[in-house]
Amino acid sequence: MDLIQGPPASSRLVLALAMAVAAALVACGGGGSTGRGGQLLPSTPTQLPSFDRAKFHQLLAQLKGKPVVVNFWGSWCGPCEQEAPRLAEAARRFSGRVQFLGVDVFDDRAPARAFIRLFGWSYPSVFDNPASIEGGLGMSGQPVTVFFDAAGRQVFVRPGAVRDQEIERELDKIHVT
C-alpha cells in the first residue's frame, strides 16, 4: 500500500519559520506604533520617541518606496550645528520626494528638542540614547548621514558634517528630481 507523504521535514520547518516570522511582523507592526495609522514615523519633529535597532529597521521597511536620508546627530555636537541649516533647507526643498529622518544619539530630550526648534527642522527624529541604531549600522561618531534609495538600499554614507551641495548631489545619483 502506498502512503501519501507530505513535504519533507526541512520544507515543513521552513514553512513554520516563515509563518512565525510573518506573525511576529504583524504583531510588532500593530501595537507599538508612534505615528498615525500604524506608522512608526513620528508625527512631529520634536516628538523624539525612543527607538532601538529593531524598531528602526521596521521604520525603514515602512519607508521603502521613497529615498530616505538619515542623519545621526546630537545637540552637544559642534559639527552637527554646522550642518543643521543645510539639512533643514534640503528637507524643505525635497519635501514629499525624500524622507529625512534624524537619529539623536547620546543626548537628553530637552536640549535635543531645543536644537530641532533652533534650526527649524521640519522632519522627525528618533531618540537613540545608547546608540544601538548607529552601532547596528556599523557607524560611530556624530554626525553621520546615510542615504537609502527608494528600494531601501544604503547607497552613501557621509561621516562628518555634510558639505554644501552634497545632499543634492547624492540624491541626484539616486534619481530624485
What's the chain's average pLDDT?
A: 82
Residues 62-107 pLDDT 10s: 999 999 999 999 999 999 999 999 999 999 999 999 999 999 999 9
Q: In this prediction, what percent of the chain has a pLDDT beyond 90?
A: 67
3-state secondary structure the chain: CCCCCCCCHHHHHHHHHHHHHHHHHHHHHHHCCCCHHHCCCCCCCCCCCECCHHHHHHHHHHCCCCCEEEEEECCCCHHHHHHHHHHHHHHHHCCCCCEEEEEEECCCHHHHHHHHHHHCCCCCEEEECCCHHHHHCCCCCCCEEEEECCCCCEEEEEECCCCCCHHHHHHHHCCCC
Q: Is the pLDDT of residue 162 over 80?
A: yes
Q: What is the pTM of this model?
A: 0.78
Please state which CATH number belongs to domain 40-173. 3.40.30.10
User: What local confidence, expressed as pLDDT, does residue 43 receive?
Assistant: 94
Domain locations in the chain? Answer: 6-35, 40-173
